[in-house]
Amino acid sequence: MAVQKRFNHIEFSRLKDLGNFPLPEKIEEITYVANATNFRRFIMNKYGNDNLDIDYEITTKPDTQMTYLGYRRFLESDLKFIFPLGNGRSGHGYKRDVKYLAKQMLIRGYVSIPQLPPFDLLIIAYLVSCLAK
């Protein structure tokens, strides 16, 4: 699509280009879904920051706070159909779980892969988290 629309400044990286992660040459959707969790863990272990205090980042950086609040809003509306209230799930518990998920999404976005510009990281973090649903 990028080529068809002549978006010459957009480049796509394959998952296996981001690290020495064993994947088949041709990746079908089922192969991707099967490997998404393993790939995410590989990237987090290799490039993640174990000392990241995501609560501090949310509190002190307005852009991070806005992203966090956007994630929460999206997750609250999106996941209510997948994890409905009732059967042991209270409204308070649901909101607590949504906050946790939003923070995990932010942590994934803070991964720094040296060979990629920062904007690419946001796209990768979003795609990996969405496609792994």
- Tokens at 109, concatenated: 């976005």
3-class secondary structure per residue, 51-105: CCCHHHHHHHCHHHHHHHHHHHHHHHHHHCCCCCCECCECHHHHHHHHHHHHHHH
d(CA 94, CA 89) in angstroms, rounded, equals 7
- Name the band, by pLDDT with cuts 50, 70 and 90, for residue 132: very low
Contact 123, 113 (CB under 8 A): no
Residue 60 is predicted with a pLDDT of 95
Give domain limits for the chain. Answer: 26-131
pLDDT tens digit string along 46-101? Answer: 878 888 899 999 999 999 999 999 999 999 988 888 887 777 878 888 899 999 99
